Amino acid sequence: MKKKLETLIQKSVEALINQEVIPSASYTFSIERTRDPQHGDYATNAAMLLAKPAKMNPRQLAEKLVAALPQDSAITKVDIAGPGFINFYMDSSSQFDIVKRIHELGPEFGRSQVGAGKKVQVEFVSANPTGPLHVGHGRGAAYGSAVADLLEATGFDVHREYYVNDAGRQMDILATSIWLRYLEECGEAVRFPDNGYRGEYVGDIARDLFRQVRDDYRRPIDLVLENIPADEIQGGDKEAHIDALIAKAKALLGVAAYRDVFNAGLNNILEDIRNDLREFGVDYQCWFSEQQLMDDGSVEQALARLQASGHLYQKDGATWFASSNLGDEKDRVVRRENGQYTYFASDIAYHMNKLDRGFEQIIDIWGADHHGYIPRVKAAIQALGADASKLKVLLVQFATLYRGEEKVQMSTRSGEFVTLRQLRDEVGKDAARFFYVMRRSEQHMDFDLQLATSKTNENPVFYVQYAHARVCSVFRQLVEKGLTRDIPSGMAHLQLLSEEHELGLMSTLERYPEVLERAALTHEPHQLILYLRELANDFHTYYNAHQFLVEDDNLRNARLNLIAAVRQVLANGLKLLNINTPEAM
């Protein structure tokens, strides 16, 4: 319809060019669905945009444009309004088709092929396996899976991935923390390091370990603390302190035993994260191990490639990547003076791997605090010979947690944080997902636990779910009242749906595919939420204004078909967001 109008207006413009009213050139103008029904169904700003080249006032030009407009049966009326808008009123007989289309397509309604099978990878959450997921990760999980699901619904070939940072110092700190808790369990008088992981789960893992190996990994605490520099609270450096403890753990335990403690932590926590996400409705095609990149030589290969293309150099005993030539603000170390690769080195290898797997678009979803990291990764992609625009980094701002008025401080290390699992237990999966995705991802978000956990809270997810349940309820009432429903008859009498509420509802239904496509392409799932709230609102208003189960068979059947279409679209949207569609509440 929009396209049709566009060609009609284009013809009109060409006519005026031929009459030399407007200088010859190609002009772009917009055609929009109007917000206010008083402005017809569609409007164009063509007259206002062409007023200047035509050296005429917009309203006069609009009149000429309208006069030159070819006749078309779909247009019932054309108006000139405001500063020079041309408003189009369309023939209403076609608007009923939407009810039929939704009925025919069912769950498929709204899905499309705009993605044309393009291979897209979406990497999200990728939290370090050093502790359970907290509510900050939850936002990334909800947002990332919504983006992936939207892309899939619009025809992209989507691959969801979690990058597991199972190598590196943080994991050693975890392993050492577990070992120290284990020593406590054995009866040693341990002083826990300031920089260790203090969460309860560390103790849990340690106790499990103790049950399995008893005293096998026990070493006298005096021996452990021998030659360890002072901790922060003792006036020393907490980093040096913990590093020395890690080294000592490795030395006293030996490779195999240390590995055992390390894996106890990794496997335990990873399993927990996996279950957590699965229960949250988030599934991955791949859990990608950083350690594997180290083990299979990918990191070396990646660096060799950068070396070969002249992007690496040595300085101060370290190996540097000359990223500042490629848009980064400074060069970055990839291999430390001590011979160890940096986290960035494995990330280069990881992105090389992504490129090699043939993804046409790579989407990384990160916490907003990592934004400074973007230029160097883009630089790496360029240095590897690919187009930096293949990588799209989407940032998710923190969800600031409140308990009533009080802000909840969160730190994984200190162990004072609210986990995603706790959140789910308190507010449920549906409310959690809905809340997280309701806001634009780059917007800071206040998540008041007390409000979200309150039973009496007016949770917006209920509002949408309730609309769905209400439709179901009407169909139950239909049976109870001994009335019948005839779908074909309803379709044949859709023109009886002439109430303002009904026409508005149909036009809202018609927008769903556009909303879905737009939400997917802009990576903005909140647009879908907004739409669902609007649709629910339209329905509730209609519900209050009119009776559906009326005596008149034809009208009743038509109305039932309309509300069935509403239910279908609500269900399609909610399912896409992995939110339940209750039949009764």
Partner RNA sequence: GCCCCGAUAGCUCAGUAGGAUAGAGCGGUCCCCUCCUAAGGGACAGGUCGGCGGUUCGAAUCCGCCUUGGGGCACCA
Scan residues 338-357 and list those touching RNA (CB under 7 A): 338, 340, 342-344
> Could you say which of 469, 532, 558, 574 contacts RNA (CB under 7 A)?
469
314 touches RNA by CB under 7 A: no
> Could you say which of 27, 192, 287, 398 contacts RNA (CB under 7 A)?
398
Per-residue contact string for residues 402-441; x = within reach of RNA by CB under 7 A: ------------------------------------xxx-
Helix (H), strand (E) counts: the chain = 20, 15
287 touches RNA by CB under 7 A: no
User: Taking the complex as a whole, how short is the minimal distance between the CB of residue 211 and RNA, in angstroms?
Assistant: 29
> Could you say which of 60, 112, 128, 307 contacts RNA (CB under 7 A)?
128
292 touches RNA by CB under 7 A: no
Q: Kindly tell me the burial class for residue 565, based on how many C-beta atoms sit within 10 Å of its own C-beta (0-12, 13-18, 19 or more).
A: buried
- SS3 for 510-553 is HHHHHHHHHHHHCCCCHHHHHHHHHHHHHHHHHHHHCCCCCCCH
Tell me if residue 103 falls in helix, strand or coil. helix
* Residue list 497-526, contact with RNA (CB under 7 A): 518, 524, 526
Q: Closest CB to RNA among 190 and 202? A: 202
27 touches RNA by CB under 7 A: no
* Residue list 58-87, contact with RNA (CB under 7 A): 58, 81-85, 87
CA 295 from chain centre, in angstroms, equals 32
Those residues with Cβ within 8 angstroms of residue 211's Cβ, 6 or more apart along the chain or in another chain:
none
Residues 518, 520, 522, 526, Cα dihedral to 10°: 90
CB 186 within 8 A of CB 210: yes
Whole-number Å distance between alpha carbons of 492 and 303: 68
> Could you say which of 209, 349, 380, 474 contacts RNA (CB under 7 A)?
474
561 touches RNA by CB under 7 A: no
> Could you say which of 462, 486, 496, 553 contacts RNA (CB under 7 A)?
462
Q: How far apart are the first and last CA of the chain?
A: 39
450 touches RNA by CB under 7 A: no
> Could you say which of 16, 17, 21, 51 contacts RNA (CB under 7 A)?
51
Spell 394-417 as b/e; 16+ CB within 10 A means b. Answer: bbbbebebbeeeeebebebbeeeb
> Could you say which of 24, 73, 113, 372 contacts RNA (CB under 7 A)?
372
Check the CA dihedral 565-567-570-576 and report its sign: negative
Q: How many residues interact with RNA (rule CB under 7 A)? A: 91
C-alpha pair distances (Å), 481 with each of 88, 476, 491, 543, 567 = 44, 9, 22, 18, 21
State the number of CA atoms in the 13 A half-sphere of 251 facing the CB.
12
Q: Stretches 105-113, 175-183, 257-265, 364-372: which one binds RNA (CB under 7 A)? A: 364-372
Q: Stretches 184-192, 206-214, 370-378, 407-415: which one binds RNA (CB under 7 A)? A: 370-378
For residue 294, count other CB atoms closer than 10 A to its CB. Answer: 18
* Residue list 183-212, contact with RNA (CB under 7 A): none
Q: Closest CB to RNA among 183 and 193? A: 193
* Residue list 140-179, contact with RNA (CB under 7 A): 165, 167-170
